[in-house]
Structure 1
Amino acid sequence: MSGVVSVGFRGGALDIRDLTVGYGGEPVLHSVSFDLRPGEIVALLGANGAGKTTLLRAVARLVRVASGTIALDGADLGQVRTEDLARRGVALVPDGRSVVGELTVDENLRLAALWRHRGAARERAVNGIYEIFGSLARRRSSAGHQLSGGERQMLALGRALITEPTVLALDEPSLGLAPLIVAQVMGTLRETAASRGLTVLLAEQNVTSALSIADRGVVLNLGRVVADASAATLANDTHLRHAYLGF
């Protein structure tokens, strides 16, 4: 990974209010409320089953919201179709590093850029991703299934960033990666978010890594918010860490 390209993006403000979401009538999230200010990285923390993935899926309109609202820059996303969210500025990188294994790195990026960029603008956008992720530039002709776990995560991030989101939601981007690769991915995420003014909602079980790049943390336990504080405050709260974060 190399230098970060500043393109003057502006992060979106995401406001989550009294959100209740469940499956088969059983709530997983219970009246969850918090917000993300423009350009802020918020770490969404908690143990397995806390509701982190469900919340991200609700933001991406992949699960039905029982009650409550999710608003982007004051506009309710409740009636926005999932396929239209990217045009509103919301991008999700789900757990599993969503890349097309049969396509090359370059084809993956160009496919993701299709609706946003045309002609020379698409070429500039693809090259911009290669400037952020230098290892992808070296593997541009490799198929997705030939990449390492870290490279696949970088490609998944690149596919999201090329759509020029204002809000980026990521589900467990460190899962299964070696510590050195985790540090590289997190560092690049922090630098890229800063250079683009990008708002980031980062769901992670790797609490230390998440708090190292986050401005703020929101802790979920059994689908409820139990803490919402600065990253430094959460990292130094021994009781909270032992009770809810496992370290």
Structure 2
Amino acid sequence: MSTLTIEKLTVGYGDGAPVLDGLELEVPDGAVVALLGANGAGKTTLLRSLMGLAPVRDGRVLLDGTDLTALSTEDRVRRGLALVPEGRSVVVELTVAENLRLGTCWKKGRKNKGPAREAAVGQMYELFEPLARRRDAAGHTLSGGERQMLALARALVGEPDVLLLDEPSLGLAPLVVAQLLGVLRDQAAATGLTVLLAEQNVTGALSVADRGVVLSLGEVVADRPAAELAADPALRHAYLGF
């Protein structure tokens, strides 16, 4: 899989102060990294900038040493990045099966037709059993938890090298959250998938992460093993609110 490297990244909108200011971070090959911080810390902006969706003023985004900074969002996806944005983004007019087949179109350097595509979709049904039961249902009829499962499955079915997730647990029941985070952990362990997970659910995120990175006002203020970060009460109280 791939290592994601962020070098002195400065991102801002219009003439305002930068949201991210010289941020540096490395997400190692096959690691699950929890990106933590209060609202407004810059988590969503960081994920959007990695996908070419936010204006970068300075710095670089590298994937296995290759500079992606000037590439379009589509080209970044073709290189192996995938984003699951906040808000359970699915095509609500399409069925579950159609959404998943759409996701296979982005399989990087792999066959995406016929048996290979159906096998990839079938694997998602094994990971997310509720989707298998509702494969012919339109996206707009799904529950919030089912939509989030579908958004995650649609990203995974394209077999990305690096998966970026923005608040996947937002508004979901604890049991659904546990299932989603468990799938992420298992997929990373089984396939070497590299994951950068932005979450307000600090306890849940750290329970599946190898490392935790805390943002505050657009800067990294802590980058530690997840267990060590979870056990530091001073840091939790100062930046994470618990």
TM-score band w.r.t. shorter chain: over 0.9
Match of 1:50 among 14, 17, 41: 41
Which amino acid letter does the alignment assign opposite residue 211 of structure 1?
Answer: L
Partner of 1:120: 115
Match of 1:40 among 8, 31, 44: 31
Which amino acid letter does the alignment assign opposite residue 50 of structure 1?
Answer: A
Q: 3-state DSSP class of the match of 1:150?
A: helix
Which amino acid letter does the alignment assign opposite residue 52 of structure 1?
Answer: K
The alpha carbon displacement at 1:157 in A equals 0.6
Rounded Cα–Cα distance in structure 2 between residues aligned with 1:20 and 1:115: 29
1:22 aligns with 2:12: yes
The alpha carbon displacement at 1:115 in A equals 4.5
Rounded Cα–Cα distance in structure 1 between residues aligned with 2:197 and 2:136: 30
Which amino acid letter does the alignment assign opposite residue 99 of structure 1?
Answer: V
Partner of 2:66: 75
On the 8 A contact 2:77/2:106 being kept in 1, the answer is no
Rounded Cα–Cα distance in structure 2 between residues aligned with 1:118 and 1:28: 41
Partner of 2:164: 169
Q: 3-state DSSP class of the match of 1:126?
A: helix
Q: 3-state DSSP class of the match of 1:131?
A: helix
On the 8 A contact 1:30/1:224 being kept in 2, the answer is yes
Which amino acid letter does the alignment assign opposite residue 153 of structure 1?
Answer: Q
Match of 1:101 among 84, 92, 95: 92
Which amino acid letter does the alignment assign opposite residue 23 of structure 1?
Answer: Y
Deviations, residues 80-130 of structure 1 (Å, cap 9, x unaligned): 111111110000000011101111100111112135311111111111111
Which amino acid letter does the alignment assign opposite residue 79 of structure 2?
Answer: R
**TM-score of the superposed pair, with normalisation by structure 2:** 0.96
Equivalence map 1:93-242=2 (5 Å): 93-116=84-107, 117-242=112-237
| Aligned pairs, number | 237
Deviations, residues 32-82 of structure 1 (Å, cap 9, x unaligned): 111011000000000000000000000010011111111000000012111
- Structure 2, unpaired ranges of 5+: none
Partner of 2:51: 60
The alpha carbon displacement at 1:139 in A equals 0.7
Q: 3-state DSSP class of the match of 1:69?
A: strand
1:245 aligns with 2:235: no
Rounded Cα–Cα distance in structure 2 between residues aligned with 1:114 and 1:167: 17
Which amino acid letter does the alignment assign opposite residue 173 of structure 1?
Answer: P
Deviations, residues 6-57 of structure 1 (Å, cap 9, x unaligned): xxxxx21000111110111220001111101100000000000000000000
* RMSD, matched Cα: 0.9
Rounded Cα–Cα distance in structure 1 between residues aligned with 2:127 and 2:134: 14
The alpha carbon displacement at 1:162 in A equals 1.0
Rounded Cα–Cα distance in structure 2 between residues aligned with 1:67 and 1:181: 39
- Percent identity (aligned): 66
Rounded Cα–Cα distance in structure 2 between residues aligned with 1:82 and 1:120: 28
Q: 3-state DSSP class of the match of 2:19?
A: strand
**TM-score of the superposed pair, with normalisation by structure 1:** 0.94
